[in-house]
Amino acid sequence: MAGTPDFLWLLDNEEILQLMLFACPDGVVVVDRGGKVILYTGSSEGIFGFAPIEVLGKEASGLFASDETWRAFSEALGRDGAVKNLEMQAVRKEGEPFWVAVSAAILRDRYGETIGTVLYVRDHSSMRMIQNTLHDRNRQLNDLVEELDFLARHDQLTGLLNRSSAMEAAQNPLIACGLTGRPFSVVVFDIDNFKSVNDAYGHLAGDEVLHSLAGVMRQAAREGDIMGRFGGEEFVAFLPAASLEQAVTVAERVRALVKEFRIPIGDGVFTSVTISAGVAEIPGSAETLREAIRVADDRLYSAKRAGRDRVAAADKLPGNDRTRSAA
């Protein structure tokens, strides 16, 4: 035949097929209609570890980790007529499971009758190992990003939101309250005579006081309340849908719990502190969040001037002391 390489004249079709199968890097397994192996190439032996004599005439499902795996493959093949790079768990001769990618097609004779199935099998264990490693690295990276995000948003000593994050977290609840006509209250807390704690017991004791106050605030908070540390010994509570009176109730609960709390400061020594607080409501006391914080802060210092250990819910007017006392 003109144009045909000379060496092909020396080969019949069977020899050409054998050369092709020998050169194929994938394992080639041919299965008859009954599910038994009728062809098993050398590459297949390298992948599975079984010698041809151990496989030929046996159920092809024995090359895979479970009957369910083979059944799922057979169902996909019967439905679509072929599968491409289907990841399956196979089993080596030693019994070790491993991952393979299988492409397969149904073989039909010239009359369209099914005569068997051909499977092209590629060892996917290294690829799966790489994928698993990448998955683990991505998970570790995501965990690190979440941890860094938490650290960026929270005060490391108390675990409460820091000032900017607390302000940010308050925005959506504040807008929602405005749209529905519900109030939004702000409470600013400050530890009374905090410097004396540091001076008397040291900064580690001061840190324990701050940490304890944060725990009390969490205990007193309602669902949806936003607690934050504004810096130093000053804390804030944003209370969505809370009226001024409801905010005072929360503030009083925090004040009373703090006063009763005995704070360990080392060597069996305990101390206690008191706090003062100022309360403001939007829209009753202010129109904006920053303005409400300023009003609450002013009222806080009114409470301190009035003797500390109290909650101020209104401005102190000349001749009319409207500062709410703990007494």
Q: Would you name the residues annotated as active-site residues?
A: 233
Q: Tokens 């080639």 belong to which residue?
A: 28
Angle at 102 between CA 96 and CA 107, to 5 degrees: 130
Whole-number Å distance between alpha carbons of 204 and 127 = 52
- Alpha helix locations (H) across 154-287? 163-180, 194-201, 203-220, 244-260
State the Cα–Cα distance between residues 105 and 84, nearest whole angstrom: 9
As a whole number of angstroms, the distance between CA 259 and CA 242 comes to 24
What does the radius of gyration of the chain's CA atoms come to, in whole angstroms? 38
With a CB cutoff of 8 Å and minimum separation 6, the contacts of 98 are 89, 90, 91, 92, 123, 124, 125
CA distance 293 to 299: 10
> Is-cis flag, bond preceding 25, omega within 30?
no
User: What is the C-alpha to C-alpha distance for residues 248 and 187, in angstroms, rounded to an integer?
Assistant: 8
Nearest to 254 by CA among 232, 281, 225, 231: 225
